Structure 1
Amino acid sequence: MSKYSVTKTPATVMKELAAKAQQLRKKNGISQLELSKRSGVSFGSLKRFETSGQISLESLLKLAYFFNRLEDFTPVFQIDESLERVEKLFSNKTR
């Protein structure tokens, strides 16, 4: 994929999430060490996340839970029912 692509890449999304999480932490006046202790995410994982965007899904969800943002993940991989009906019109099974 071109580095000038309009579509976001996984690396771009990772860095954006890390920047948003860092802003949220700072806005709430919480140090990395305090967030680590209170969220259950190791200090090393938190530091790595904020610098590179790399974090396990479990740790990311723990941070989201801590900041009361877990519901933000609800639409991820959600199936659009209206699209499913359209796809059935073109499937071979209905012919």
Structure 2
Amino acid sequence: MSLVSSTKAQQKLANAVRERRLFMELTQEGLAIRSGVALPTLRKFEQKGIISLEGFLKLLCVVGGLEELITVLQPPKPNFSSIDDVLKEDSNISRKRGHKK
């Protein structure tokens, strides 16, 4: 469970993209042109944090951070302390599915 609401997270992401844009000395128009995101969409994102996932990823392609986002979302890898742990892990491999509600 997260202590950050989705609305607050959206605004933090928008602020981070805005800061990166300013650091790169790009105007909103310049970023919109380079990313292919419509200028009104970019303005709405920077003001309210609302944007489609596709638009957000396009912005990250220009200002940076896309690779880091992909890396952060990777599932954690198990930590092994011995070869026995590795062998146990190999024998416990099973198909993983989500649970129905």
TM-score normalised to structure 2 length = 0.70
Classify 1:78/1:45 alpha carbon distance in 2 versus 1 (closer, same or farther; 3 Å). Answer: same
Structure 1 Cα separation of the partners of residues 44 and 28 of structure 2 = 11
Specify the code of the residue in structure 2 equivalent to 1:56.
S
Alignment-derived partner of residue 46 in structure 2: 50
Specify the code of the residue in structure 1 equivalent to 2:31.
L
Q: SS of the counterpart of 1:34?
A: helix
Alignment-derived partner of residue 18 in structure 1: 14
Structure 2: runs of 5 or more not aligned: 80-88, 93-101
Residues 50-84 of structure 1 deviation map (CA, whole Å, 9 limit, x = unaligned): 0000010001000111123210221354222439x
Structure 1 Cα separation of the partners of residues 18 and 73 of structure 2 = 25
**Rg: which structure is higher?**
2
TM-score normalised to structure 1 length = 0.74
Say whether the 8 Å CA contact 2:36–2:58 is kept in structure 1.
yes
Structure 2 Cα separation of the partners of residues 19 and 68 of structure 1 = 14
Specify the code of the residue in structure 2 equivalent to 1:55.
I
- What percentage of aligned pairs have identical amino acids? 30
* Structure 1 consecutive aligned stretches of length 4 or more whose deviation exceeds 6 Å: none
Once the two structures are superposed, the pairs formed by residues 71-86 of structure 1 within 5 Å of their partners are 71-82=67-78
Structure 1: runs of 5 or more not aligned: 1-5, 89-95
Q: SS of the counterpart of 1:74?
A: helix
